[in-house]
Structure 1
């Protein structure tokens, strides 16, 4: 358990908890540990190296074994990455020549000749029926022997592992940060929070848990430990029941509730009873999840608790035996009658709902007086709305057109499924639009803490604010959807790895090349192995022991404005069914050799998860200055049940890409501009000299040498920038 918890700290914070072991002379072992880390693209900080050097060699060795396993998995180096063409990226044949060669070998083989001739007589031959196609023709050891060692380059990634405190202190700090997050967590972080909550249930707790999903997993740990539950709505109890059943606490997907023990049933019934007794109007929330409450009632047996009449009322409403008018229905009635003022009065009692309805309210206004009422209500309620919602509405408004020129709307659900539609809404009035934006900026500015000396890495300014944990994926070097980051290197190499669980699975790595008008230029895939500036490593169609595919691109030779890598499920298990699957990219200098996969050149690696059959992790954009930047997508297309190919989904991909590229995301730059009004000093860091005193540092990585009292914000805790 302690090894697993230590791994959580390293993954989330890049901090190495202080090892528990006797003092000794571990300097030699620490240097060996550092060298091994560098081969995977990581490095010990000076402080970590010094501390480990003062411990016994055995302690250092044990720490190294645990940590290396964690960081290698982060970079995707925990598996063997074989390539179909052993000399890749050299020696990749022309696609048709390769297929003809596979057919010729099948005809020359006594065991397959008759079957192949029969297939030829019947029509086209299925490539998968040819013995050479889609199956590795060499071992991983033979692949390694065919490639020279990687030549070290100054641009290789070295992620520093900083010196942390005692393991329990690090776990508590991580738990408080995740549980108290002002934005929803991603799927993996939510699982980690559940594990940490169980470990930290008797320790310090955050002053508030504003995100309902986080509260559900914390409540599960509190229930197991016999602690008081944190409940203030009937939906909190429903989410807790989902957590206890290992279901979806976001309530986006139905949960099959498990049979609950009597003590758990008593606790859930008591929670429902207390919530409704304190605020009977909260029965109106039952209708939003009526079917789930009915299924929950079948498990809780409320008739066994006659002393809990308020809990029984919840299930009576769910069954339709009792009426409980919802808050939303009263708002709809007012809007349906054209009474905007009445709708605003109702919504003013629920500031969050007021802000979520602002666009609709403004469009419903028939007079300037009504619009003034809506804007004034928003200004008055701004102080009672969460910082995340303020910023979400701010981003919405800056993408909302006021000139009637139309545009596109991008919709992305909780699972990353995206679609783009034409924006046919009437424009918002410019005066009200500008007044709302000014009010939102003023309120956010008021809530931001005094940063003192604000030190900012310019590379982080175009990173999108993580207003939702679903806008990113777990992994290394991953940024939120809509972020832009520079791409510095001559060779860009994508990779995908997957390992099937139960049935034959074929994932295909492809890259779509588009011009400035989002029209197709060409693509690289198993049907187009070579293209100007690029090579595909070959199609692998079965992965019982794991398989990898690669695409290599020389950026100066690419004749396109956009490069969009994608992973298609051609056959078999989906991204949520396979045992493991991940995507990433590497950057290399032109003369660097090495294996197809080299962990120290990995700039990004993310897990592939989602219900769609086509994954779009990110895209690469060529700027007017000729330089390339990455645009982070984290999107899925539904795709077809089988035989998904880049050629057939290129129109949908281009439409989604255009929607994301042309959307104006709220970035770190916005918050740092607001902070300037409160900061004593603002410095754009040149990457060389650090201030002597404490600072608030915002950047892509924590630099060595910062004052120990500095506040540090990097992508791992970027959510901390979002004010409460």
Structure 2
């Protein structure tokens, strides 16, 4: 079995201005205190040019708002805006590769370059002629590594580190000469796909109101938030007065999100009079209590890495025991046993036996967890037995409190292959029923399958969207399942497991009936949302995957769901980049940006990394191996990919990977990030790091030693976002060492996401559009439109199935129908790029928001599209 891990660690949240800029594309400005002048007009023009150089445009309203303030205020606002953008792009750090004239100066022969370095180490002596060129007086030691370097053989204007060991050297070392200027003349610079128009959001009061809207959007999601969304939620809630809970919704569906917010309310003990009632009213399970205390102690609400729990103040202790008192003891104990060791530690902090007279049911649950000894005549025993009463599920008559758990009864029924009994038990917990649906159907004979499917219909209405969509994708892909199964188990490092698929088959008829029930539930939930006359869906969304396991998603410039596939822009090359900085605590750190190259059958064709700086002449070119990254400059590496040349060399798949060569985990570094640029062809001779060309930038975090961000399909010109990291051990990591594992990982994940086992965002958009709109406009890559109208008596499922087929009801100028005129009435839209004029108040998802103004339309993230299927809370 091959194991991989995704990264998710704590992170310093963005400032509020940066959060609102990223989430809404809005710039908020204090009220102007000075009028426009010639100086401010010129300053706005310069700022606009700087923004364009980073792939951003100004709206006319933002331009006008900036021009209406004094020069000092404009300067401050412009600097802050550019700083936030540069941080998001990675342009706030120097990106100096080993060969400063990369790619032109990258050695053609990597082995010869290595031999020269070895000869220098073995035979070079100070105060003697250079062993390579014979020049006298040119050999000197560089600082701080003290390697002897000939300044005639090695070009100090090109190399940015020691030519021998590739460690960064002192900036004032004489070996380093001024860098030769790079050529920029006559270059065409295309705008990036992620191009966004920045809008004026209003004053700071408007920012606070918009912040509350963003908070509500995040709190409405039923699943765990991504690390970036969790950071943003923290930054947004920091603006709220802890004594004011009016902004807090009555119901927060996401358990982990709820723990984060409620723990934030408890930061101020002086506000307990207001916050404690609000907190306890929203806790309804024992695990909610544990999550809350974990977050309050600086830990993870997912309870993966448990913290050292801090003491609990007496008012909070009593309040939480009161919540536990209100829960059924058997259910509380079942919850507590899932995290038994954590609860044993928490129970010591809550002192339940000290409050047994006041909270006897809470004490009873803890006694069952602890296997507390009961003795006749003991006051505590009498209290516990009274609390147990005649509850058949709790037995306190013996020497310990015994609770027969629900989970053990389920496992016993499954082991006995008693499907009806298992169905009856699992129906009590809808989420568990649907998660085990495949297992139940595998065990079922024909009559048992009817029992399972009959129970499924009422149960499925109560599960979260993520569980519903996961079961749907898994079941419908069963007939064509690959030999290797892929698992994404929960965890702070969310390990991805690959294992042989040895499941028994399920009959096609049974699968068809189950899938129909699940799809019908998706359509039913979608139809409950507000209806619209017209909806528009981009056909280009077919490559996107509905987000899942977001709690381990990388913090990234573009929030691209794991597994999604996007086209590489025509006529452009790709440049991968990596930047990192070491600290005294981490010590010398050597990260390596590498690519593994495979053919159509995933056989190794070659690689491009520190051991092979060029592949296929110029098909792939590496910028050189830097082996240290001291502050403040850090280190940077790049790999250029010419897709035409790679295809000619027999390459079909390019797997990008970042290794920690000397085994320093990413989380030990003050900063580490990587990304992708799309550069113009041919002969792009611009800066090594071009902020305008950056299409994706993501953080390297967690305990991982190897990150696998993406795979490029050279023939189809697509990029698939994997966002996983490989579980490697030892040191001296390289593609040559891990190539087989990388091929297995990339092949298995590519097959998984192409199989339909994960529901696509495009098909989810079509389902929602069909359920909510009378007319659905499908926009194609060339901008043309095809119209589909729901016909009289046509069921929603039939309408949804017809969208995208030739059985349409019109198109641009066809059949006397001008579909383009109907765009102006589209109040629902799911787009790849937000480049349409939509009516005010429209509900829009756009991977790249482009010109959409969050003040006019309601912008949705991919997670919001899934969250729209959340069932109403049970009273």
TM-score over 0.5 (shorter chain): yes
2:603 to 511, 519, 537: 519
Deviations 1:559-578 (CA, angstroms, capped at 9, x unpaired): 31100010001115311111
Question: Which runs of 5 or more residues in structure 1 are unaligned?
Answer: 118-128
Q: Secondary structure of the residue that 1:549 maps to in structure 2?
A: strand
**Aligned: 1:499 with 2:581:** yes
Q: Secondary structure of the residue that 1:692 maps to in structure 2?
A: helix
Report the alpha carbon displacement of residue 416 of structure 1 after superposing the two structures with TM: 4.3
1:373 to 451, 462, 465: 451
Distance 1:721 1:684, change over 3 A: same
CA distance in 2 between partners of 1:96 and 1:470 (Å): 43
CA distance in 2 between partners of 1:283 and 1:273 (Å): 12
1:135 to 150, 164, 167: 167
CA distance in 1 between partners of 2:44 and 2:314 (Å): 53
2:252 to 189, 206, 209: 209
Equivalent position of 2:805 in the other structure: none
**Aligned: 1:346 with 2:425:** yes
Report the alpha carbon displacement of residue 555 of structure 1 after superposing the two structures with TM: 1.1
**Aligned: 1:635 with 2:724:** yes
**Aligned: 1:101 with 2:116:** yes
Distance 1:130 1:21, change over 3 A: closer
Between 1:26-35 and 1:679-688, the stretch displaced more is: 679-688
Distance 1:681 1:162, change over 3 A: farther
Q: Which has the higher helix share?
A: 1
CA distance in 2 between partners of 1:461 and 1:162 (Å): 29
TM-score, scaled to structure 2? 0.76
**Aligned: 1:221 with 2:315:** no
CA distance in 1 between partners of 2:523 and 2:199 (Å): 32
Deviations 1:319-354 (CA, angstroms, capped at 9, x unpaired): 233333322111112222322101111111221111
Equivalent position of 1:644 in the other structure: 733
CA distance in 2 between partners of 1:134 and 1:554 (Å): 26
RMSD: 2.8
Q: Secondary structure of the residue that 1:495 maps to in structure 2?
A: strand
Between 1:645-654 and 1:147-156, the stretch displaced more is: 147-156
1:573 to 664, 675, 692: 664
What does 1:86-235 correspond to in 2, within 5 Å?
Answer: 86-93=100-107, 94-106=109-121, 107-110=123-126, 132-136=164-168, 145-149=180-184, 151-157=187-193, 158-165=195-202, 166-200=206-240, 202=244, 203-224=246-267, 225-226=271-272, 227=275, 228-229=278-279, 230-235=282-287
Equivalent position of 2:775 in the other structure: 681
Q: Secondary structure of the residue that 1:576 maps to in structure 2?
A: helix
Equivalent position of 2:344 in the other structure: 294
1:248 to 296, 300, 305: 300
Report the alpha carbon displacement of residue 376 of structure 1 after superposing the two structures with TM: 1.1
2:416 to 337, 352, 375: 337
Q: Secondary structure of the residue that 1:699 maps to in structure 2?
A: strand
TM-score, scaled to structure 1? 0.91
2:643 to 549, 552, 555: 555
Deviations 1:115-168 (CA, angstroms, capped at 9, x unpaired): 999xxxxxxxxxxx9863212479699786432238342344533223335110
Equivalent position of 2:534 in the other structure: 453
Report the alpha carbon displacement of residue 583 of structure 1 after superposing the two structures with TM: 1.1
Distance 1:406 1:65, change over 3 A: closer
Report the alpha carbon displacement of residue 471 of structure 1 after superposing the two structures with TM: 5.8
Between 1:572-581 and 1:316-325, the stretch displaced more is: 316-325
Distance 1:250 1:498, change over 3 A: same
Q: Secondary structure of the residue that 2:209 maps to in structure 1?
A: helix
User: Does structure 1 conserve the Cα–Cα contact (< 8 Å) formed by 2:544 and 2:561?
Assistant: yes
Between 1:227-236 and 1:150-159, the stretch displaced more is: 150-159
Deviations 1:87-133 (CA, angstroms, capped at 9, x unpaired): 101111121121122234433342779x999xxxxxxxxxxx98632
Between 1:409-418 and 1:171-180, the stretch displaced more is: 409-418
Equivalent position of 2:359 in the other structure: 308
Report the alpha carbon displacement of residue 693 of structure 1 after superposing the two structures with TM: 3.9
User: Does structure 2 conserve the Cα–Cα contact (< 8 Å) formed by 1:103 and 1:130?
Assistant: no
Distance 1:514 1:20, change over 3 A: farther
Between 1:444-453 and 1:341-350, the stretch displaced more is: 444-453
Equivalent position of 1:126 in the other structure: none
Report the alpha carbon displacement of residue 180 of structure 1 after superposing the two structures with TM: 1.3
Equivalent position of 1:21 in the other structure: 32
User: Does structure 1 conserve the Cα–Cα contact (< 8 Å) formed by 2:56 and 2:198?
Assistant: yes
**Aligned: 1:588 with 2:732:** no
Q: Secondary structure of the residue that 1:440 maps to in structure 2?
A: helix
User: Does structure 2 conserve the Cα–Cα contact (< 8 Å) formed by 1:472 and 1:479?
Assistant: no
Distance 1:407 1:387, change over 3 A: same
CA distance in 1 between partners of 2:361 and 2:224 (Å): 30
Distance 1:603 1:534, change over 3 A: same
Q: Secondary structure of the residue that 2:326 maps to in structure 1?
A: helix
Equivalent position of 1:387 in the other structure: 465
Report the alpha carbon displacement of residue 604 of structure 1 after superposing the two structures with TM: 0.5
Report the alpha carbon displacement of residue 406 of structure 1 after superposing the two structures with TM: 5.8
User: Does structure 2 conserve the Cα–Cα contact (< 8 Å) formed by 1:287 and 1:317?
Assistant: no
Question: Which runs of 5 or more residues in structure 2 are unaligned?
Answer: 1-11, 127-139, 149-160, 373-400, 785-819, 848-859, 871-875
Distance 1:78 1:348, change over 3 A: same
Distance 1:387 1:452, change over 3 A: farther
Report the alpha carbon displacement of residue 490 of structure 1 after superposing the two structures with TM: 2.7
Report the alpha carbon displacement of residue 359 of structure 1 after superposing the two structures with TM: 1.0
2:90 to 67, 76, 85: 76
Report the alpha carbon displacement of residue 720 of structure 1 after superposing the two structures with TM: 1.4
Distance 1:412 1:280, change over 3 A: closer
